[in-house]
Chains A and B, each alone.
Chain A
Amino acid sequence: MTDLPRSQHIVASGAVALVGITVAWISWTQESAAAFLFPRIISTVFVVLALWTFGKALIGKTKVGAGLSRNAILAILPGLAVMLVYVFWAAAALGVYTASTVAFFILLTLYDPAPHGEVRSWIKRVVITA
């Protein structure tokens, strides 16, 4: 293992800890106290645990979780982008069915291992989409 996963662990657990602190801050400052009693208890435990993991990541003692390799990030990014555009924009703007068909087709094109140069594989994609 290189240093990459370690710094990633620090960033990730740091982010989780930040969320925890925000949540705790909101719970302890919002009124009414009665309605926020339960969130207060949870968020406090949340922060303690998150800081614990963060500390462990800092000293490099994280035992589980593989982290992300550069290749993996490159591989998922386009798919992730298609997915998010599909969900947050296209599904509402183009209609669910149109958007699904288009997204389906793009995903197949991106990730189907068949060579892109051949007409046959394109036809196959269209057929599968339909």
Chain B
Amino acid sequence: MAVALLIPFTFQLEPASGLILLGAAYTSTVAGGAVSAILLKIPGAPANIATTLDGHTMARKGHGAKALQLSFVSSAIGGVFGVLLLIFLTPVLAQWALAFGPSHLFWLAILGVTIIGSLDGSSVVKGLLSGCIGLWLATIGFDDIMGAQRFIFHDSLAGGINVIPALIGLFAIPQVINMFAKGRKRLDAEVLEVERHPVGDAIREVLRRGRALTIRTATGSIIGLIPGVGGQIAGLVAYDQSRKMSPEREKFGTGHSEGVIAAESANNATVGPSLVPLLPLSIPGSPTAAVLLGGLLIHGIFPGTDLFDNHPDVAWTFINSMLIGQILMCVFGLYIAGLAARVAQVPNAVMAAVVLALAIFGSYSVQTSMGDVYIMAALGTGMYFLERFGLSAAPLVLGLILGPIAEANFVQGSMIANATVGIGPYFFTGALNLTMIAVVVASIAYSVWMELRYRRFTTKEDAIEKEEALT
């Protein structure tokens, strides 16, 4: 997002400064999105959805500063690891990234869908229902492959529903309305109390969770390599895997620090690897990487062998700017965490108005389109009421993100399959396909098991009641 907005500015700059700006913006958006995710339950980017689950609960319990510190420290560790992978293993990993064809990406999207069900842990059926609504919303507009018009009820919908306005609307607007709901009531009692939390403790806490951190960072890096899917779902997959493997799994969703660490280290670990296919092969691995490619081309710099052979200074400036960006981001973030108390003390009325104004500017500026603002407001208002009845925004957004991936790869895969080996062998044979299918089956089995054990999760019920008492 920020990268796209900055490109016109870099046009006027020297290649090196332009690249530094883009590199820094590219690294910092993902980590920066955690701030609003934790303090306001509004993820700044799709990658930060998983962070809201535990991060915001922590903030509401008064551990906002701690959550922010944890998130920035684990972001930095994940991020640096990802960039190091990019530096040292690019030639090896590039081939691996190419191994993912339509059938594998399809299964990956399906895996994401199965995670939808167990995402907030309260009700699998309602989670899946929200996911379905998201999947449906994703099909609105002109179909990319066939060019058919689907569900275009209004002109604004012709371009489909852009993920960013939808994300802003689905998360921010319900929060704004919630603030209305409690705005006029006693103010002082509602203010979030933010305790001071020493930075050293946060670093120690992150390191203590070393096992989680390593696994999540690795998960994030691997998922980040997969073209087109990477950054968007890495945080969620890592969060989900953490919860399933953790001995304290019932604590997830109730403000558990491991949840924040898992989500943030994984989603930032995707930043470096998502450039793996871009730099040597000139193939963008994520939507942001595609924008970045445009930014490089404006300066007459072609990613590919040309970049490292003829412009090594530029290439390394860019990579180093990402590395330094990660570290500065962390320092800056820790400083911000100290200020978190101020944000939390802003009265509800002011906060509601500020968030509303930002939501409108934000969704307008993605494509300078009022249509996006309408979509944002309509989705957001609808979401408020759905939330009151147990549907949640996270699976809905996940559906919205995964829908096009699942559909496009299914359609492309079946076209290729029909022309060559046939649907069955194409989607169901090969080591990679079988591995992905096994993971999908395991994930479904786990969800079913969760649903059966639902009533025994008393701590979870408590958590939900607490949440309702607070909102």
Contact = CB atoms under 8 A, between A and B. Distances in A.
Are A and B a genuine interacting pair, yes or no? Answer: yes
Interface of A: 8-9, 12-13, 16, 19-20, 23, 26, 30, 32, 34-39, 42-43, 45-46, 49-50, 52-53, 56, 62-68, 72, 75-76, 78-80, 83-84, 86-88, 91-92, 96, 100, 103-104, 107-108, 110-113, 128
Contacts of A92: 370
B245 interface: no
B381 A23 contact: no
Interface in B133-188: 133, 135-136, 139, 143, 146, 148, 150-151, 173, 176-177, 179-187
Interface stretch (B4-12, B196-204, B344-352): B344-352
Contacts of B370: 91-92
A52 B125 contact: yes
B364 A96 contact: yes
Interface string B405-438: 0110011000000000000000000000000000
Shortest 9 CB-CB distances between A and B: which pairs?
A65-B390, A111-B183, A35-B148, A79-B180, A111-B349, A64-B390, A35-B146, A46-B132, A65-B389
B148 A12 contact: no
A79 B146 CA distance: 42
27 contacts: A8-B388, A9-B389, A12-B388, A16-B386, A19-B133, A38-B407, A45-B128, A53-B125, A56-B125, A64-B123, A64-B464, A65-B391, A75-B181, A75-B184, A78-B180, A79-B176, A79-B183, A87-B374, A87-B377, A88-B377, A96-B364, A104-B353, A108-B350, A111-B179, A112-B349, A113-B184, A113-B186
Interface in B271-316: none
B393 interface: no
B89 to A, nearest CB: 36
Interface residues on B, range: 35 or more
A50 B126 CA distance: 8
A50 B389 CA distance: 12
Nearest to A72: B181
B410 A38 contact: yes
B96 interface: no
B417 to A, nearest CB: 14
Contact of A38 (B132, B139, B182, B356): B139
Nearest to A56: B125
Among B125, B185, B347, B389, residue most surrounded by chain A Cβ atoms (within 10 Å): B389
Among B123, B181, B374, B403, residue most surrounded by chain A Cβ atoms (within 10 Å): B181
Contacts of A107: 349, 352-353, 356
B360 interface: yes
A130 to B, nearest CB: 13
B357 interface: yes
Nearest to A22: B151
